[in-house]
Amino acid sequence: MNSQDAAPSLDDGAKGTRGWLARLGAQEDLNFLLTNRIPRIAATRLMGRIARIESPAFTRLALRLWQLFTPLDLSEARKQQFTSIKDCFTRELKPGARVFDARPDVLASPCDAIVGAAGMVRQGQVYQAKGFPYSTAELFGPTQDASVFEGGRFITLRLTSVMYHRFHAPADGSVEHVTYLSGDTWNVNPVALKRVERLFCRNERAVVRMRLASGHPIALVPVAAVLVASIRLHFLDVLLHLGRQGANEMPCNAPHMKGQEMGWFEHGSTIIVFVPPGFELADGVATGAQIRAGQALLTRLPAH
C-alpha cells in the first residue's frame, strides 16, 4: 500500500474537525454581527414602517425576495394576495389548518415554534441556553410574583420569520393580568442566546397571567426581538410596542376557549410558557423539535 492509499490519520480527522468548527464559529460571528451590532431599536422601528406600506406591488416584490432566502410557505394562508408585508406576516390560516388537542389534561402549544430551552424552575432560575441562566423575578418584572411557578416547568417556543405568527389560548381559562415591559430588541436566535446573558430579561416583553378552568395558574411571556417589536393582544385591543415605556399594568378578565386566538407578533419571536408543579412535557416535545399550534405541549399529571 503506498502513501496515497493510507487511511486518514487521527491528526487529519482532528484538523478537519477544527476546520469545520472554525467555519461554524465564523458563520455565528457574522450572524451575531449582522443582527445585533446594529442600531437595533432604530432598525426595528424602520422595519415597522416598511412593513406597513400598503402597496400590493411592493409587497409581492418583497415576498418574492424573501422566498429566495427562506422557506416561506404561504400555501396554508387564508388569502394569497397581501396589501403589505405586515398583512402577510400576521396572516390568518385556512379553516382547519391548526387543530387543537381537545383532551382536558393537555396544555396545547399556543403557536407554531421550534422548542428551545425547557426544564424545571429551580430557586427562581431558568435557562435561555446551556450555561446562561436568568431569574423568573427579573423576567416577570418588579410588579409580578413568579414564585407560584417554583418547582414547575418552563418551555421556550421560538417563532422564526417564516412561521405562522398568531398565538392562541393553550387551554380553557381566563386572562387575569398583563404586564408590558419595554426594553431592547436583541435577536433571540440560538447564536445570541449563547452570547448575551439574561437576553429575555433585556428585551421588550409582555407577561400574560392566565387562570385555567382547572384552577391552575400559567403564564405566557411573549418576547419581542430585533425587527419584531409589536405585540397585538386582541382582548386588550391595544398594540404593545416600543413607544410604551416602563411597566404598563393592565388588569383584565378575558375568558378564552382552548385554541381561541389571543394575538400576534408582527414577524416572529419567542413565547416562554410557565406552569406550576404538576405538569410534564408531552411526548415528542424536546429542544430542537418543531411543533405546531394546537399540538400537545404539556400534560397535567393525575392528582394524588
5 is catalytic: no
Q: What are 53's three cell numbers? A: 406600506
- Specify whether the CB–CB gap between 96 and 113 falls below 8 A: no
Q: Pick the catalytic residue from 84, 182, 230, 269.
A: 269
Q: What are 48's three cell numbers? A: 415597522
The residues, ordered by sequence, that sit 6+ positions from 173 with a Cβ below 8 Å of its Cβ are 210, 211, 212, 213, 214, 218, 255, 256
Q: Pick the catalytic residue from 101, 109, 165, 168.
A: 168
- Phi first, then psi: give them for residue 291, nearest 5 degrees: -125, 165
269 is catalytic: yes
- Write out the DSSP string of 23-81: HHHHHHHHHHHHHHSS-HHHHHHHHHHHHT---HHHHHHHHHHHHHHS----TTBS-S-
Distance separating alpha carbons of residues 114 and 111, to the nearest angstrom: 10
Q: Pick the catalytic residue from 101, 109, 112, 177.
A: 112
105 is catalytic: no
Q: Which residues are catalytic?
A: 112, 168, 269
